[in-house]
Amino acid sequence: MQKENKNLGIAIVGLGGAVGTTAVAGSLLIQKGLQDKTGLPLAEFDNLNLTAYENIHFNGWDIFDDNLYESAKKHGVLNSEELAAIKDELEAITPWKAIANKDFCSGVTDNKISEYSLRDQVKIIQDNLKSFSEEINAPVILINLASTEHAVEVTDPIFQTVKAFKKALDDDSKKISPAMVYAYAAIDMGTPYANFTPSMGVDVPALIHFAQERNVPVAGKDGKTGQTFVKTVVAPALRARALKVDGWFSTNILGNRDGQALAKPESLQSKINTKGSVLDSCLNYKVENHMVQIHYYKPRGDDKEAWDNIDVTGFLGHKMQIKINFLCKDSILAAPLAIEIARCLNLASQRSEGGPIEAMSVFFKAPLTADNKEPEHRFAIQQQNLVEWLHQDAEKGNTAKIKAPEGEKSLV
Amino acid sequence: MQKENKNLGIAIVGLGGAVGTTAVAGSLLIQKGLQDKTGLPLAEFDNLNLTAYENIHFNGWDIFDDNLYESAKKHGVLNSEELAAIKDELEAITPWKAIANKDFCSGVTDNKISEYSLRDQVKIIQDNLKSFSEEINAPVILINLASTEHAVEVTDPIFQTVKAFKKALDDDSKKISPAMVYAYAAIDMGTPYANFTPSMGVDVPALIHFAQERNVPVAGKDGKTGQTFVKTVVAPALRARALKVDGWFSTNILGNRDGQALAKPESLQSKINTKGSVLDSCLNYKVENHMVQIHYYKPRGDDKEAWDNIDVTGFLGHKMQIKINFLCKDSILAAPLAIEIARCLNLASQRSEGGPIEAMSVFFKAPLTADNKEPEHRFAIQQQNLVEWLHQDAEKGNTAKIKAPEGEKSLV
Amino acid sequence: MQKENKNLGIAIVGLGGAVGTTAVAGSLLIQKGLQDKTGLPLAEFDNLNLTAYENIHFNGWDIFDDNLYESAKKHGVLNSEELAAIKDELEAITPWKAIANKDFCSGVTDNKISEYSLRDQVKIIQDNLKSFSEEINAPVILINLASTEHAVEVTDPIFQTVKAFKKALDDDSKKISPAMVYAYAAIDMGTPYANFTPSMGVDVPALIHFAQERNVPVAGKDGKTGQTFVKTVVAPALRARALKVDGWFSTNILGNRDGQALAKPESLQSKINTKGSVLDSCLNYKVENHMVQIHYYKPRGDDKEAWDNIDVTGFLGHKMQIKINFLCKDSILAAPLAIEIARCLNLASQRSEGGPIEAMSVFFKAPLTADNKEPEHRFAIQQQNLVEWLHQDAEKGNTAKIKAPEGEKSLV
Amino acid sequence: MQKENKNLGIAIVGLGGAVGTTAVAGSLLIQKGLQDKTGLPLAEFDNLNLTAYENIHFNGWDIFDDNLYESAKKHGVLNSEELAAIKDELEAITPWKAIANKDFCSGVTDNKISEYSLRDQVKIIQDNLKSFSEEINAPVILINLASTEHAVEVTDPIFQTVKAFKKALDDDSKKISPAMVYAYAAIDMGTPYANFTPSMGVDVPALIHFAQERNVPVAGKDGKTGQTFVKTVVAPALRARALKVDGWFSTNILGNRDGQALAKPESLQSKINTKGSVLDSCLNYKVENHMVQIHYYKPRGDDKEAWDNIDVTGFLGHKMQIKINFLCKDSILAAPLAIEIARCLNLASQRSEGGPIEAMSVFFKAPLTADNKEPEHRFAIQQQNLVEWLHQDAEKGNTAKIKAPEGEKSLV
C-alpha cells in the first residue's frame, strides 16, 4: 500500500448546511493553526495511514447558491472572529447545483436540476466529482449531509437487485430518491460513499450489492452524535449490571434547519426508525416503554438539548431512575465525525476494501452491514472494532476483529 | 474441575448493615421464589460453574447484636411485607461479636472484642469461619462490608513484607486496623477474601504477597455501585469522541449509616482517594477540575442521589455540558455485587487461582492488581475481561484475556 | 353567620378514580388519626369557619361499580398497610351509576345511565344528591373529578343563555356533555359546584349566568397541581427581574388512567388549551416558543414527572437557562385541593355568595371569572386573594381584596 | 417633588470587578443604543421619578489599577465586539486607590491606602466622592461590590452605638473593616449607601443609627441574584400548598474571582450566614436538612450553576422531589440590580427618606430593616412592596405598604 497521493477531497451533499460549513470552516481553521484537533476522534491515531487533516479539500452540492461564508454566517455556529479569519477561503467556495426533489423533502424550495432525467443527474454528479478530483489531483469521497428525505418504500422490487435498480434509473422512476441517485453515481465511478443522514441512500440490497460488485467502500447511516451515542454507551452498562430498563423516555429540543425538517412528521419517522431498535439491541430484550421525541424549539439555534429519563428495576424489584441531560451542539458533534468517516473510507479504498465497512459502525445510528447481518450497536465494542481495523496495516495481515465472547448471552 | 460441593457460605464483616442485611434478605426472598434475579449481574451466566443463588448461606460479624430481622427493619430498605415473609429466617441470624476499634472508625460505639490481642482476634475470626464452614458443610468466603475506617499509613515498614506484618501482629501493633486483621485471618486459613469498602484491607504489599504465597484468591476494593460506575462507563466514550473533559463535578447525597460515617472528614478522605484517579485513568489525561462531594443528607434514608456535571470541549473549542442525575438505592446496588463477588471468588478458588483476581475489577472502584500494575478502570473492558474469565472453563485452557490493542494510545 | 351545621358532604363525579379514592381514603386516615394534615393547604386556617376535615363525608358517581377499596387497590397510590386500616369504610362505599357518553370520552366503556333523557339524567343526579344530604344531614358540594371529555363547541347558541340551554336540555341535545348535565343539576338545586377537570362544565355563559341567577357558588376549572403550578410561581418572578422568556419547553410523563386519557389527541387538546394562556398572562407578553407535551409513560404509574426547560435573556442579551424537574404524585397533589375546594365552596354558600368565586382562583389552571374578566394567574397574588377572602368573616365586612397596584404595568 | 437634577453618579467599591465593569459597560452600551433594557427590573417603571439609565455616570475604587477596558476584558463577561464599541469610554476610567486590608480579605494582594489612619481613610473616600459629584454636577450613590470580607464580631461594644463607633475610628481600631469605613464615610457626608456583598457594612446598630440620625438612605445586604432568588420564589408557594420541606440541598458551582474568594472558608461563612435563615423565614418553620454548598469550579468562568434539590412531604406522607437547575451568569444578574439599587436610593434621597429603605428588600438576600425587625423574605411580597413604594409619588402621600394579612399564620 502506498501513501504517495497524500491529499483527499470530500464532496458533500448539502455543503452549505450547518454541518457541512462547520466541517469546511473547522478544517480551514486547523490548517491555519487557529484551532487544535480537539473533538476529532481519530486525531490520536496520527501515526497510521489516515490522510492528514491539513491535506483535506472540500466541495459539494447545495440547493442554495450562497457561498460558504454567507452560509456559515447564517448558521451562527462559528462566531464572527473565527469566520473573519477564513473569509476569503470560504467565499471562494460556492456549491454546485444540487439534485433535489420536493416529493422527497418538502423543505426544498428551489429545485435546481431535477428537470433532468435520472441518468442525466447521475452524469452531472459524476462530472462534478471528476472535475473536483482533477482539480485537487487526489481521490474524492462523497458524503451525504443533506436534509432528511421522506421514507422510501424499501421493499419495492426495484430496490432488490442491481439490475432492477438500473432499469428503474433508465425508466426515470419516481420512486428513486435524490439520496439514492448520489449513492449510485458515486459507486458507479468507484468513489467511496457515506450517508450521514437518516435518508435512504445506499441502504437497499440493490445498492449494497452494487458497492460489493464494484468493490467500493460504503458506510452509513445517520451519524451517531447525541442521544443515540449516549444510549449505546449507557445501555450496555445497565445490562452488565442486570438493571432492567422498564422505560426510556427521550426528548430532544433543537432549533436549526435540521430541526425544522424533523418537525415534519414524514421526516421524523425516518429518524425515529433508525433510532428504534438500537436500545433493544444493546440490552438484548425489547424495552416496552421506549419513547423518542424530537421537537423544533427555536431558542436553541444550532444548540441541541437531549433529556433522557431512564427507569430501571434493580435487585428485589426496587425502582431507580437515571436522568441524562446533554447540552450539546449539533454541528460541533457532527462535523468532525463527517471528516473522520471520509478519512476512514479513503483508508478502506487504499486497502482495496469494498462494500459496507462494518468497522466504521461506531459513527452511525444504523450501521450498514453486509448480508443483512445484525449490526453491532454497543459503543465500546464498536470503538474496539474500529481501533483494531485502523491498526491492521501496522499489524500486517492481522485482520481479526475483536468479537464479543462466544455464547449467545455472554455479551458486554 | 468438579462441582460436587454445591453450597457456599458468605461470612460478612458488618453483617447487620444495610448492604449485609439486604444481601441476606434478598437471597432468602429468591430462595423462596418471592423475588426473581433482576439486578444480579451474573444471573445470565447460570450455565457456568458459579454456585447457584439458592445454595448460598450467610453469617458474619457486627458491632451491634441485633438479629437480622431487627437490623433490616431499622434500615428500611425492604418493606414490611417483604420482611414478614422471611421473618423467621432473619431472626435466626444474630451476628458474631465483631472486632472493632475506635481508633479506626469513630462511629464505633461498642467495642466488642478489642480487648483481645491481635493474635487472639485472628484466632477468634478463624474459629468463627471454621464453625460456619462445618455447619453448612461448604467452603466459605469472607467479605468486608463494614463502615469505612480511617486511612492507614500504608508506607509504614510493617505493611511491606509478610514477615514484618506477622511481627507487628505479634507485637499487637496499633497501626494494624480491624479490616487488616480480618484479611489476614482469612488468607491465613485459605479463605478467599474481598473488601467491598474503601478501608485499607488486603491492599498493602504484605497482605497481597501473603495471598500469593498461600494461593488464596483476594479481590477489592470499594464496590463500584453509583457515581464511579457512571464515570467508568461515560468517560471512555468521551475519550473515544475526543471530547476533552475540562471539569467533572460530582455531588452525592445519601442518608444512611454509611453516609453518616462518610460525613466524618477522615473517612471521606479514604473514599475520595479511591475515586480520585479513576477518571484520569479512563481518559488518559489528568482532569484539572475534578471535584467529588459526598454529603450526608437525611431525607434520603438508604436512597442515594448522584449529580454529575461534566464540562467538555469539542470541535473548534466549543463548550458542551452533560449532566447525569442518578436516583439510586445504595444497598440495592451494592448487595447483589457482594453476592457475585463471593461467587466469583469461590470459582477462582475451585480453579486454584490465588492472589488478586484482576478479572473481577469490574466490581470495584479501586481494583486490586498484582505487582503494582495499573488497574483497568474502563467499565466495558472490565466487563469483557470478566466474561472471558468466566468462560475459561468451557473453553478449556484458553486463558487469554481480551486486551486493549497494542500501542500506547490505541485504547477504547 | 352560624356554624351550627358542622358536617359537609362531597359528591364526586368519578369517585372511583385515583384522585377521588385518595381524597376519601386520606380523609378517613386523618379522621382515624393515622395521618396528619400535611399537604392540606388550608390546615393552618383552622380557626376560621371552614368545615373540619373530620366532619367531611364522601359519595359520588362512577362508570365502574367497584367499591372504593377495590378501586384504591388498583390505583396503587396508597400502600397495602394504609388501605388495610380503612378497608371496612372503603368497602362500604360503592359509587352511584354515572352519566357518561362515549361521544365525549372515548375511554368510557360502560355507559351506565345514558339511555335516559337529559332531563331524566338531571333528575337522577338530583335524587342522588338529596338522598346523600339527608343521610348525612348536611349540605353537599358537587365536584367533578372524572376523566377529561372532548372539547365542546362553546360558541354554539345553546350555551349562550340560560333559556337556550334549558331548551336544549328539553330537546335532548347531543351537544350537551355529561359534565354540563352534572353542573346544571347541581346549580338547579342550589348545590355548590366545582370542576377540577379540563372538561367543559359550568364554564359557558349559560351556566355561569344560571349560577349567578340562583346565587349558587361555582368554581373551576382544571386543578392546578403540577407544572402549571410551577409556571405561575416562577414566571411572575422572572418578569419582576425583567428576564425575558424566549422559550418554555414543558414535558410531562405520567402513567395512570388520567395519562391514558390524555394520550388521546382530542382530550389532550382540552388540557393544553387551559394551560396555554397562563404563561403569557403571568409575563404580560406572548411567549413565542411555549411548548407543552404530555405523554403517557407506563413505568410511572400514578407518579408524574414534569421537566421544564426555560430559556431566558437577561442583561445585555445574555442567555440563561432554568430547568425544573418535578417528581410528583398526581393524586397526592390533587386530592387535598379537591377537599379544600369543597370546604371553600361551602364557606361561600354559608356567606350567601353566588356565581364564580374568584378568590378560589389559586386552585385552578383556568380560573372561572364573572363577566368574562381576565383571570388572575399569578400564584402569589391568587394566594393573597384567597387568604384575604378567608379572613373576611373575622374582619367583619371588610371585603376588599388585595389588588395589584394601579397602573397597567405595575404588577408583581 | 422635583426632578431638576436629572443626572446621577454611582461610586462603586470594587469597580474593576466583574459586576462593576458589567454595570458600567452595560450602561454605556445602552446609552449608545447598542443594547436594550432587557434584564433591568425597573425598566418598565420609566414614567416614575427614577433617574434615566442614560443619565448615570460611574466611578469607584479598586485594589487593581487596570483601566476598565482591561478589567472587562479579563473578566470575559462581554465579548470582544461589545467591548470594542465602548473601548474609549472604558479606557478613560481608572479606579481610585482602594482601602483594603488583608486581615479582612485574604485575596487582597496589594494594599493600597491602608497605611493611612481610619480617619484619613474616611477623608480620602469623602474627597473622592466630592470630586466625582462636582465633576458630573449630580448627586452620588456609594455601592459596595467588593470581594467578600471575613465575618466581623458584630456583638463587640464598638458596633453598638454611634459614639462608640466614632471613638473606635479615632482609636484606629483593628476591628473596623474596610467595608465599614466606606459605609461610615458615605453616611457621614449624606451620600446614600448600599451593600451588595455579604460583608459586614452598614449592618451594625452603630451605623444603622448613624444613617437614621443623618437621614441618609441605606440598603443591603448581599444581592439576591441566583439560588436565594429561586428559594424566595419557590418556598412560599410550597408553604401555600402545605408541602412540608424535609430537606433542601443547594449546590453552586462558579468560576470567577468571586468564586475563588468564597472558596476560602472564612468568606464562605459570611455568605452562608446570610443565606441561612431565608428559607426558614419563607416557610415559617425550621428546615431540618438545609444544606448550602458553594464551590469554585474553574470551567465556568463567570457563568454559575445552581442545583437545588428539594425533598417535600405531601398529603398522606408521600414524598416528592423538585430539582431546579439554574444555568446563569453571575455578573449579568447582579449588574442590573446594582444599577436599580442606586436609582432607588436616589429616589429615596429625593423624597428625604433616611435609614434602612425596607421597600428595597427584594434586591437582597439579607434585607436591612430598622429596629431589628424581622425582614420580609418572600419574593412576591417584596416585589409588591417595592412597586407600591415606587408609586407613592403618583399616589400623593399614600405611603401604606401592602402587608401580609393580620394573624400570625395567615401568610402567603
Q: In this predicted model, what pLDDT tens digit does every residue of A276-312 receive, in sequence order?
A: 589 999 999 999 999 988 899 999 888 899 999 999 9
Q: Which residues contact A129 (CB under 8 A, 6 or more apart)?
A: A11, A140, A142, A185, A186, A189, A191
pLDDT at residue D350 is higher than 80: yes
Contact status, residue B304 vs residue B226, Cβ threshold 8 Å = yes
Q: Which residues are registered as beta bridge partners of B325?
A: A323, B307
Average pLDDT for chain C: 88
Of C326, C332, C379, the CB nearest to D315: C332
Report CB contact under 8 Å: A388, B405: yes
Q: Which letter, b or e, does each residue of C61-88 get, where b requires 16 or more Cβ atoms within 10 Å of its Cβ?
A: bbbbeeebbebbbebebbeeebbebbee
Distance from CA of D80 to the nearest CA of A (A): 9
Q: Tell me, what amino acid is at C124?
A: I
pLDDT digits (tens, 9 = 90+) for C163-200: 999 999 999 998 999 999 999 999 999 999 999 999 98
Q: For B8-223+332-389, CATH number?
A: 3.40.50.720
C-proximal residues of D, 3-22, CB under 8 Å: 22
Domain ranges of chain B: 8-223+332-389, 227-330
Query: What mean pLDDT is predicted for residues B8-26?
Result: 96
Q: What pLDDT is recorded for position D141?
A: 98
| pLDDT average, residue stretch A137-157 | 91
> Chain A, 75-104: which have a CB under 8 Å from a chain B CB?
78, 82
Residue of chain B minimizing CA distance to A82: B316
The pTM of the full predicted model, rounded to 2 decimals, is 0.91
Rounded mean pLDDT, B243-257: 90
Cα(C329)–Cα(C18) distance, rounded to whole angstroms?
A: 11
Question: B281 pLDDT exceeds 60?
Answer: yes
Q: What is the pLDDT of residues A105-120, one digit of tens each?
A: 665 655 456 578 899 9
pLDDT band at C115 (very low <50, low <70, confident <90, very high): confident
Interface partners of chain A (CB pairs < 8 Å, 3 or more) are B, C, D
User: What does the pLDDT read at residue D47?
Assistant: 72
Residues facing B217 on adjacent strands: B355
* Residue A114 confidence (pLDDT): 57
More confident residue, C115 or A144: A144
Please report residues of A whose CB lies closer than 8 A to that of D81: 80
D327 touches chain C (CB under 8 A): yes
Q: Do D293 and B297 touch (CB under 8 A)?
A: no
Provide mean pLDDT across the span C280-303.
90
Q: In angstroms, rounded to a whole number, what is the distance separating the alpha carbons of residues C297 and C219?
A: 31
From the candidates D300, D302, D327, which should be mutated to test the interface with B, based on the most B CB atoms within 10 A? D300
The reported pLDDT for the residue numbered D257 is: 67
Q: Three cell numbers at A389?
A: 481495523
B52-74, pLDDT tens digit by residue?
A: 999 999 999 998 889 999 999 99
Architecture of domain B227-330: 2-Layer Sandwich (3.30)
Dig out the grid coordinates for C89 from the structure.
369504610
The number of residues in chain D equals: 412
Which of D37, D242, D404 lies nearest to residue C38, judging by beta carbons? D242
CATH architecture of C227-329: 2-Layer Sandwich (3.30)
- Quick check: A327 and B326 CB within 8 A? no
Shortest Cα distance, chain B CAs vs residue A294, angstroms: 18
| Reported ipTM | 0.91
Residues of A in contact with D79 (CB under 8 A): 79
The CB density around residue C353, as the number of other CB atoms within 10 Å, is 19
CB pairs < 8 Å spanning A and D: 4
In sequence order, which residues have a C-beta less than 8 Å from that of residue C161 and are 6 or more positions away? C205, C206, C209
Q: Do residues C51 and C113 make contact, with C-beta atoms less than 8 angstroms apart? A: no
Cell digits of residue C322: 432554568
Cis bond leading into D221, ω under 30°? Answer: yes
Whether C281 and chain A come into contact, CB under 8 Å, resolves to no
Q: What is the pLDDT of residue C238?
A: 97
Whether C299 and chain B come into contact, CB under 8 Å, resolves to no
Q: Name residue, grid cell 427590573.
A: D41
Place of cell 473533538: A39
Tens-place pLDDT, residues D281-316: 999 999 999 998 889 999 988 888 999 999 999 999
Contact C307 A309 (CB under 8 A): yes
Asked if the domains C8-223+332-389 and C227-329 are classified in one and the same CATH topology, the answer is: no
What's the rounded mean pLDDT across residues A209-223? 95
Of C41, C45, C391, the CB nearest to D241: C41
Higher confidence at residue A411 or residue A125?
Answer: A125
| Per-residue pLDDT at C160 exceeds 50 | yes
Q: How far is C5 from chain D (nearest CA, A)?
A: 25
Interchain contact, D383 vs C412, CB within 8 Å: yes
Average pLDDT estimate for C59-77: 93
Q: Is the pLDDT assigned to residue C6 strictly greater than 90?
A: no
How many CB pairs (< 8 A) connect A and C?
Answer: 52
Buried b (16+ CB within 10 A) or exposed e, B104-134: bbebbeeebbbeeebeebbebbbebbeebbe
What CA–CA distances, in Å, run from A386 to A402, B404, D82, D126? 9, 12, 45, 71
Q: Which residues of B touch D289 (CB under 8 A)?
A: 297-299
Residue B351 C-alpha cell reads as 480453579
Q: Which chains touch C (3 or more CB pairs under 8 A)?
A: A, B, D
Which contacts qualify for B134-139: CB closer than 8 Å, 24 or more apart?
A: B136/B7, B136/B9, B136/B57, B137/B5, B137/B7, B138/B5, B138/B6, B138/B7, B138/B8, B138/B9, B138/B55, B138/B57, B139/B5, B139/B8, B139/B9, B139/B191, B139/B346, B139/B349
Please state, in angstroms and as integers, the Cα–Cα distance from residue B235 to each residue in A129, A154, A234, B242, following that order: 40, 38, 11, 10
* Per-residue model confidence (pLDDT) at position B258: 66
Which residues are CB-contacts of B155 (< 8 A; sequence separation ≥ 6)? none
> Looking at beta carbons, which residues of chain C come within 8 Å of B325?
325
Determine contact, residues D36/D30, Cβ cutoff 8 Å.
yes
Mutate to test the interface with A, among B48, B75, B234, B241 (most CBs of A within 10 A): B241
| Contacts with A26 from chain B: Cβ below 8 Å | 315-316
What is the structure's pLDDT at D410? 30
Cβ–Cβ of C315/D332 closer than 8 Å?
yes
C291 in contact with chain A, both atoms CB, cutoff 8 A = yes
Contact C243, D332 (CB under 8 A): no
Residue B292: closest C-alpha in chain D: D295
Q: What is the mean pLDDT of chain A?
A: 88
C317/A contact by beta carbon, under 8 A: no
Let me know: does D242 contact C38? Beta carbons within 8 Å. yes
Region for D229 from its dihedrals, namely left if φ exceeds 0, alpha if ψ lies in -120 to 50, beta otherwise: alpha
B299 vs C: CB within 8 A: no
- D174/B contact by beta carbon, under 8 A: no
Centre a 10 Å sphere on the Cβ of residue B157 and count the other Cβ atoms it contains.
12
**What pLDDT is stored for residue D390 in this prediction?**
94
pLDDT (average), residues C196-213: 94
Mean pLDDT, residues C203-217: 96
Using 50, 70 and 90 to split pLDDT, how confident is the model at A49? confident
C-alpha C311/C-alpha C298 separation (Å) is 29
Identify the pLDDT of residue A400.
37
Contact residues on chain B for C326, CB-CB shorter than 8 A: none
Predicted confidence at residue C300, as pLDDT, reads: 87
Joined together, the cell numbers standing for residue D127 give 474627597
Cross-chain Cβ contact A309/C247 below 8 Å: no
Average pLDDT over residues B216-226: 93
Which residue in D289, D305, D309 is closest to B305 by CB distance?
D309
> Where does residue C407 fall: left (phi above 0), alpha (psi -120 to 50 degrees), or beta otherwise?
left
Q: Where is pLDDT greater, at C387 or B402?
A: C387
How confident is the model over D244-271, as a mean pLDDT?
75
Cis preceding-peptide flag for A102 (omega within 30 of 0): no
The pLDDT assigned to B262 comes to 64
Residue of A226 and D58 predicted with greater confidence = D58
Structural Rg of chain B based on CA atoms: 21
CATH H superfamily, domain A227-328: Dihydrodipicolinate Reductase; domain 2 (3.30.360.10)
Q: In the predicted model, what is the mean pLDDT of residues D87-104?
A: 87
Whether the per-residue pLDDT at C102 is higher than 50: the answer is yes
**CB crowding A160-172: b at 16 or more within 10 Å, else e:** eebebbbebbeee
Q: Residue D80: its chain A contacts at CB < 8 A?
A: 81
The pLDDT tens digits for B111-123 are 456 578 899 999 9
Whole-number pLDDT of residue B264: 63
* Inter-chain residue contact B39 with A380, CB threshold 8 Å: no
- Which of chain D's residues have a Cβ under 8 Å away from the Cβ of C324? 322-325
DSSP state of D51: P
Contact of D299 with chain A, judged by CB distance below 8 Å, is answered with no
Is C410's pLDDT higher than 90? no
Q: Is the pLDDT of residue C220 over 90?
A: no
Q: What percent of chain C shows pLDDT beyond 70?
A: 86
- Out of A209-218, B353-362, D393-402, pick the least confident: D393-402
- What is the average pLDDT value for chain D, to the nearest integer? 88
Tell me if chain C has a CB within 8 Å of the CB of A249: yes
